[in-house]
Amino acid sequence: MQIDSEDLLQRFLRYVQIDTRSDSHSGTFPSTPCQWDLLRLLETELREIGASDVTLDPNGYVLATLPATSAKGGVPRMAWCGHVDTATNLPSAAKPIVHRSYDGRPIVLPDDTNQRLDVESTPHLREAIGHDIITASGTTLLGADDKSGVAIVVAAARHLLRHPEIPHGVIRLCFNPDEEIGRGMHKLDLETLAADVAYTLDSEEPGEIDFETFSADSAEIEIEGVAAHPGWAKGVMVNAVRLAGEFITALPRELAPETTSDREGFIHPLEIRGTADKVKIWMILRDFELDGLAAKRACVEAVVAKLRADEPRARFVLTFREQYRNMRYWLEKDMRPVEFGREALRRAGLKPISPSIRGGTDGSNLTARGLPTPNLFTGMHGVHSQREWVSLQDMTKAVETLLHLAQIWEEKGA
C-alpha cells in the first residue's frame, strides 16, 4: 500500500504543538479548555478530507463516518478511536524535532541537554535506526500519547476516502478528551457512536494488540488534624502533615510502582496537598485481577484504621472510586476482534504480540459497556516523559494495519 507518510507526519506535527494537558482536579468536561483547540481542528480536518456526519458535541467528542464501500450486507460497523489529551505531569505544547534517517547516535534534546535518548538505555530505539524519529525539545511531552493515534486514524480515513475501491463496511471515527485522567469515554453515547466493534490506537510497540489491562480504582484520603498555635501546641496540636507522612510510610514498599513489574499490581500515591490542619492524598490502585484489587483496597483501609486508632483526635475520610476494569473479562468471551486485529498485523508484515498492559485505555470502559475494543499500536515510546519519541515508519505501519483491518472485517465479519 502506498501511504502518504508525509501527510501523516505533518498532521502529527500540527497536533503536538497544541497544548491539551488534562486536569484531574477539574470538574468540567473536557477537564481543560485547551483540549477544545485540537478537537475543533479535527472537526475541520475531517470535513476537509471528505468524511460524513462530522460532529463535535458539547462534551468534546468528535465523531465522523466513512461510508461503506462494500456491497455486502451485514458487515459489522467498526469504530477507530484516539484521545486528544496528554498526561498531567508535564506541559504538552511541544516543539517537535524530526530526526531524519536516525543514525544510531545519541539524541540530545536541545532545551534540556540532560534529556537524551541512546540505543543503550532507550528501549526499542535500536530497532528504529534508519527511521525518521520525532521527539520534543526536552522540556515538554511530545504528546505522541495519543496524538500519534489521532494522526494515524485521520491518515487511514483519508486513504480510504481517496481509494473507494478498497472494500469496507461503515467505519466510525471517534476522538475524545480526558483519557489520561480516566474519564475519556464516560459521556460518550454508544447509540450515537453506533458501532459493533471498536479499536483504540493507543499502544506502543509495532505489532501490539492489547486485550488485557489493569483493573483500576482511585482513592482519596482526607486527614483533618487539630489546629493550634505552634508556640503553645504541646498536648493540643494534631499535625495532619505528619499523619500524612506516616500514612505514606506505612504503605508496603513491595506494592509500589517502582518495585513491581509484569503482572504485579501496585498502590501509588499521586499527590498530596494541604497544611498542618488538613491534608488530602490522591492515590491509584491497580491489579490485573479483581481479588488483587480488593486486597489493595483492604491494605489501604488497614493503614488508615491503624492511624485512626493511634490518633483518635484526628479525622480520616477514605473514599474509593472505580475507574475501569480489565477488558479481558469481556473480550475473552469473543476473541474475533483480537484475532482479526492479529491478521491485520500479519498482513502488514508485523508479528502480533499481546502483552498485558500495565495501565488502561478508553477501550477498558467501552468494552465493559458492551462495545468490544482492543487496543492497537502507534509506535510511541517513552510516554509521560520529556524523552517521549515516535517513529514515522512505525506510525505508517499502524495506518497500513487499519487499512487491512477494514478489509478483514468486510471479508470475515459478516
pLDDT for residue 31: 97
- Which of 43, 45, 85, 204 is flagged as catalytic? 85
With 80 as the cut, is the pLDDT of residue 1 above it?
no
179 is catalytic: yes
Same-domain pairing of 340 and 313: no
Same-domain pairing of 241 and 137: no
Residue whose entry in the numeric block shows the C-alpha cell 483493573: 215
Same-domain pairing of 203 and 224: no
8 A C-beta contact, residue 177 and residue 85: yes
pLDDT for residue 3: 96
End-to-end CA distance of the chain: 24
Mention every residue, 6+ apart, whose C-beta is less than 8 A from residue 314.
Answer: 223, 224, 225, 226, 238, 240, 243, 307, 308
Same-domain pairing of 292 and 330: no
With 80 as the cut, is the pLDDT of residue 392 above it?
yes
**Band of residue 413 on the pLDDT scale cut at 50, 70, 90:** confident
Same-domain pairing of 139 and 11: yes
Residue 245, all three cell numbers: 507522612
Give dist(CA 339, CA 344) in Å, integer.
9
Give dist(CA 131, CA 100) in Å, integer.
7
Same-domain pairing of 264 and 360: no
Structural domain span for residue 120? 5-213+326-412
- For the chain, the domain total comes to 2
Q: Kindly report, residue by residue over 91-117, the tens digit of the pLDDT.
A: 999 999 999 999 999 999 999 999 999
Same-domain pairing of 293 and 361: no
Percentage helix, strand, coil, to 5, in the chain? 35, 25, 45
Instruction: Provide the percentage of residues in the chain whose pLDDT is more than 90.
Output: 98
322 is catalytic: no
pLDDT for residue 114: 97
Q: Kindly report, residue by residue over 217-274, the tens digit of the pLDDT.
A: 999 999 999 999 999 999 999 999 999 999 999 999 999 999 999 999 999 999 999 9
Q: What CATH number should be reported for the domain holding residue 101?
A: 3.40.630.10
Mean pLDDT, the chain, integer: 97
182 against 254, higher pLDDT: 254
Same-domain pairing of 339 and 264: no
8 A C-beta contact, residue 328 and residue 214: no
- Which of 43, 178, 179, 287 is flagged as catalytic? 179
Threshold 0.75, pTM exceeds: yes
Choose among 153, 172, 164: nearest CA to 64.
172
Q: Which residue type, as a one-letter code, is found at position 17?
A: Q
With 80 as the cut, is the pLDDT of residue 414 above it?
no
Q: Kindly report, residue by residue over 53-67, the tens digit of the pLDDT.
A: 999 999 999 999 999
413 against 58, higher pLDDT: 58
Query: In the predicted model, what is the mean pLDDT of residues 47-56?
Result: 98
Same-domain pairing of 338 and 295: no
Instruction: Out of 276, 293, 324, pick the residue that ends a domain.
Output: 324
